Each structure stands twice: as structure tokens, then as C-alpha cells.
Amino acid sequence: MAVYKAVALVSKLTQAGAVVKVMMTESATKFVNPLSFQVMSKHDVYTDTFDEKDSNVIAHIDLADWADLIIVAPATANVIGKLANGIADNMVTTTLLATTKPVWIAPAMNVHMYEHPAVIRNIDRLYKDGIRFIEPSAGFLACGYVGKGRLEEPEKITALVAAFFQPKKLPLKGKKVIVSAGPTLERIDPVRYLSNFSSGKMGFAMAEAARDLGADVVLVHGPVSIPIPNGMRVISVESAEQMYEAILSEYDKADIVVKAAAVADYRPKHPATQKIKKTSTDQGLELERTTDILASLGAKKTHQLLVGFAAETNDVATYATGKLEKKNADFIIANDVSKTDRGFGSEQNTVTLYGRDFERAFPSMDKKQLAVQLFETILTQSGVAE
């Protein structure tokens, strides 16, 4: 029975040095006496929102603020459903709604319940809310079934908690990383311009990943409408030329440059200073090449690690590896932008990372998660991190 494992979990976490305070739903108290948890944790056990043990505080708010991490183990389909829908009708669900700290959920239930569409829907919604899950293991279940639904072993959960509180490795500490993101905007006249569908999400995710790996980040971005990340120096530009100038001014001191921006290849050759009046006839627009920033950086490269992107709609591998050579880049991150669920503007992306003699395809995933995995792979492949 999963709730007995919870007693063992409290014991192991306490032995590992954690200070554990236990909250129980009324149903849980029908399986295990709260005294068992009190003995293991050497702290009061909270079972009733209105049973205030310390009149100076409101218990569920105090606990919500006190915790560094809240683990719901075992988590029933009921508590998962309540949390996914913001229901706060007992000590556990009330505290979970009041906390801003990380919440981990370790489901334990019958295999058919775990596979029920409603439970899957609730888990997916909680994942999107930032809650993380400790997957149940497969095996013999208390209800007599065999399948996935067993609360993960207390030893495994304890190890996950210990890893979570390990000081994060910061492989990019002291390194300077320049990231370009978003589109550029090339003016036709004071009211018209050429641009593209880049939202900046991929580049911003790369900049945040570099920041979280300890780097000093300079983010150079074109016009976007998504929130600007914090914890980094930000240079906002409009045109390809301005982006080039901004990156060049930082290039000498950079250790890594990531070019996620969708830089215009062409701009109007003669941008008008006044609004071009429409006429009864067709009009042409003469375009000229912009500076190929990545190629220029490749030509000037001394110590920098140069990472380009490739937005292709066909023959992705051919074009991407071609850019790697032609632009003297160290890595190219290629994405097939012909599909609407990835690349420009999407939350997710599907990329293949190409190095000189390296290739790794990544499954479709959230751009933020992908950015971390891309950086970790690039750092490992280039020897910057162990």
C-alpha cells in the first residue's frame, strides 16, 4: 500500500538531512495513523485546515511559505483532479494552492485509473502549470492488478530530492554568451517594412538557458511581442545592419555566439523617406543583400564557439551541413520550418544539431526545454563542460 511507503519516504528524507513536515488528507488517516508520521518526522502532522496548532500563524499559509519543496506522495486521482481544477477543500489542497514553491506529484493508483482520459488530462494540465511528476513504477498493485501505478520507491524519490537540492553545476560561469533572437525589420518607407514570422521564443529560450548555466548573456533581439528575459544585458535592434553592429561590438569578448535570429537576407535598396504613394499601376521593389552576419562572424572567428541556426523547408540536412562549412560555424541547429507546429512562432520545436563530425536529432519539445538540452550537448561536444 502506497501510503505505508510514504512513512518510509519520510524516514529516508529525514535521515538524508531534510526537515519534513507532513500533511494528510482525511482519507489518508484511514490507512495510516498520523502518529506514525509524527514519530518519523518529529514534527506535528497537519490533517485539518482549521486545526491551528500555533495561534500566531495560519498553518496552511505558514507551511506553504516554509517549504522549499512540496511532494504529494502518494497522489491519488482525486487530489490530482482537485489540484488541476484549483479546488482547496482540505489541508493538502489548500496548502498546495497557497504555495509558490516547487511541487512534485508522485501518482499511485490502479493502472486503469492512471490511464483514464480524465486523469491524463489533469496530469497534462498540472504539467503545463509547472508541476513536476515522479512517474509511478510498474509492478504488482495493491488492488491485485499488475501494471503502472505503483508509488515510486522511497529510495528513488529521496535520491531525486537530494539531486534537486545539489548546488547546480554552472558550466558557463564566467563565460560571455551572445544570443541573437527574433526577426529583423527592413524599412520600405516610414510606414511599411519587410520582416518575417520569428517570435523570438527560440532565441530567448537559448539566452535563458545560457543564463541558467551561469553565463553572462548579451541578448540582441529584433522587434518582438513576448516578454524580455531578465538576468541578462539586452540590446534591442530593428534592422539586420543594426543587429550586425550590435553583435560585432560584443564579439571580441564573447566565448559563445548563438545566432537564433531570423535575419533578413534582403532589404529595400532605396528605402523612401516619405510614404510611397500608391498609383494606378503595379510597383516594383528593388532589394539588395544584407550582411550575412553569421558568415562575417565565421570569417572573424578566433576563440569563439559559433552556433548558427538553419531554417529550411526542404533538404534540411544538406543545407544545414552546407552552412556549417560555408560560414565556418562550429554547430548548426537545423529546423524544418515548413510545418506550422514547429519553428516560427510555435511553443515547440524539432531540431537536429550538426557539428563538424557530429549529428543529433532531438524529439519535438518545448523550446525552453530544448534550449537547455542543446546547450548541454554543445558544451559536452565542444569540451566546455564535462
Give residues 48-77 in contact with ligand PMT (rule: CB under 6 A): none
Name which position in 84, 262, 306, 316 contacts ligand PMT (CB under 6 A).
262
Nearer to ligand PMT (CB atom), residue 69 or residue 295: 295
Instruction: Locate 27 and state its grid cell.
Output: 482519507
Per CB under 6 A, the list member of 12, 150, 201, 267 interacting with ligand PMT is 201
Quote the CA–CA distance of 51 and 30 in Å, as a whole number: 18
Site for ligand PMT in 133-192 (CB under 6 A): 182
358 among known catalytic residues: no
Q: Let me know if 32 is exposed, middle or buried by CB neighbors in 10 A (0-12, 13-18, 19+).
A: middle
- Contact window for ligand PMT (CB under 6 A) among 15-23, 24-32, 271-279, 286-294: 286-294
Q: Which residue in the list 143, 146, 159, 191 is annotated as catalytic?
A: 143
**340 contact partners, CB below 8 Å, separation of at least 6:** 346
Measure the CA–CA gap between 107 and 196, rounded to whole angstroms. Answer: 44
* Residue 38 CA: distances (Å) to CA of 23, 69, 135, 172: 10, 19, 27, 43
Contact flag: residue 257 with ligand PMT (CB under 6 A): no
Asked if residue 202 binds ligand PMT (CB under 6 A), the reply is: yes
94 binds ligand PMT (CB under 6 A): no
CB nearer to ligand PMT: pick between 5 and 327: 327
Question: Hey, which residues between 290 and 329 contact ligand PMT (CB under 6 A)?
Answer: 290, 292-294, 308-311, 323
**Total number of residues that touch ligand PMT (CB under 6 A):** 28
Of 345, 365, 366, 384, the one binding ligand PMT by CB under 6 A: 345
Q: Which of 64, 72, 260, 316 binds ligand PMT (CB under 6 A)?
A: 260
Q: Which is nearer to ligand PMT, 251 or 309 (CB)?
A: 309
Q: Which of 114-122, 169-177, 269-277, 340-348 is the region at the interface with ligand PMT (rule: CB under 6 A)?
A: 340-348
Shortest Å distance, C-beta 37 to ligand PMT: 47
Asked if residue 261 binds ligand PMT (CB under 6 A), the reply is yes
The nearest distance, CB 324 to ligand PMT, in angstroms, is 10
**Residue range at the interface with ligand PMT (CB under 6 A); choices 60-68, 70-78, 128-136, 260-268:** 260-268
Q: Which is nearer to ligand PMT, 23 or 294 (CB)?
A: 294
Sole binder of ligand PMT in the list 263, 324, 374, 378 (CB under 6 A): 263
The total of other beta-carbon atoms located within 10 Å of residue 384's CB is 16
Q: Which residues bind ligand PMT (CB under 6 A)?
A: 182, 198-203, 240, 259-263, 265, 290, 292-294, 308-311, 323, 335, 337, 343-345
- For the annotated catalytic residues, the residue numbers are 143
